[in-house]
Amino acid sequence: MSKLNKYMMVHNTPGVDCNEVQGNWRKLANVDAGNWIRTYYNEDKGVRYCLWMAESEEVLKDIFTEIGISWESIIEVEETVPDMWGEKWEEHLIKESSADTLGN
């Protein structure tokens, strides 16, 4: 089995219909070449940020081209962990605890 890399896909589709997005999810659920992790969405701007695991950027391009879903960009990403932040981590936790949009 090949190594999977993590990618951030940006979809910029203002005015996209919720039913269309849900229909695309059903199609993507049957894909074996890539694994969806999570999506962040700004409904007002119609922008979705989706994390995927795949062997390569080309694999993701093939998946989304075949299904007919457009994207603005695909970039390989790595996740940061608190140890990488050093002293800034405590400052981050304080700011995050008072943010209006706390994550789950």
Q: What is the pLDDT of residue 24?
A: 79
Name the band, by pLDDT with cuts 50, 70 and 90, for residue 83. Answer: low
The predicted pLDDT at position 46 comes to 85
Does pTM surpass 0.75?
no
Instruction: Return the higher-pLDDT residue of 15 and 65.
Output: 65
For the cut 90, the answer to whether the pLDDT of residue 85 exceeds it is no
Residues with Cβ within 8 Å of residue 40, at least 6 apart in sequence? 48, 49, 50
Collapsing DSSP to helix, strand or coil, 91 comes out as helix
Question: Which residues are paired to 76 by β-bridges?
Answer: 7
CB burial of 79-99 (b: ≥16 within 10 Å; e: otherwise) equals eeeeeeeeeeeeeeeeeeeee
Each residue's pLDDT tens digit, 3-58: 899 999 999 988 877 777 777 778 888 888 999 998 888 888 889 899 999 999 99
Query: Do the beta carbons of residue 5 and residue 54 sit within 8 Å?
Result: yes
